[in-house]
């Protein structure tokens, strides 16, 4: 693919690109913040809330193990949510901008 000159500033200023930027930024920060907080609850909980982690819920299975296992499910869920939104929405929005990119002056 030959690389033609683009007016990057104009594309950046294009309302469609701005919408993509806004939506993506808010979405990514939200997910990132949630995942970081949720993850650090594990070391914090295992250090400062040991009594809670020791509570047995199903035979010898305690809240600590359930919470550690839930970290895997939450990580996969976050990845799934991101992939769904990116595949359905962000890709299409980017596609439209790419199609018109050379004409945005």
| List of residues contacting other proteins (CB under 8 A) | 1, 3, 6, 8-9, 11-12, 17, 20-21, 24, 28, 31-32, 35-36, 39-40, 42-44, 46-48, 50, 53-54, 56, 58-62, 64-65, 68-69, 71-72, 75-76, 78-80, 82-83, 86-87, 91, 94, 97-98, 101
Task: Name the minimum Å distance from CB 105 to other proteins.
Answer: 14
Task: Name the minimum Å distance from CB 1 to other proteins.
Answer: 6
Question: Nearest Cα to 97, choosing from 22, 17, 23?
Answer: 17
Please list the residues that pair with 56 across neighbouring strands.
62
Q: What is the CA radius of gyration of the chain?
A: 22
Alpha helices, DSSP H, located in the chain: 8-13, 15-48, 50-53, 63-85, 91-100
Task: Name the minimum Å distance from CB 89 to other proteins.
Answer: 13
Largest CA distance in the chain: 67
């Amino acid at each position: 693919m030959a690389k033609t000159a683009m007016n990057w500033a104009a594309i950046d200023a294009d309302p469609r690109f701005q919408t993509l930027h806004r939506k993506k930024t808010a979405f990514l920060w939200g997910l990132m913040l949630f995942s970081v907080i949720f993850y650090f609850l594990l070391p914090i909980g295992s250090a400062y809330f040991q009594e809670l982690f020791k509570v047995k819920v199903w035979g010898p299975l305690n809240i600590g193990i359930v919470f550690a296992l839930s970290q895997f499910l939450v990580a996969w869920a976050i990845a799934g949510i991101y992939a769904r939104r990116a595949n359905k929405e962000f890709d299409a929005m980017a596609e439209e901008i790419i199609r018109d990119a050379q004409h945005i002056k």
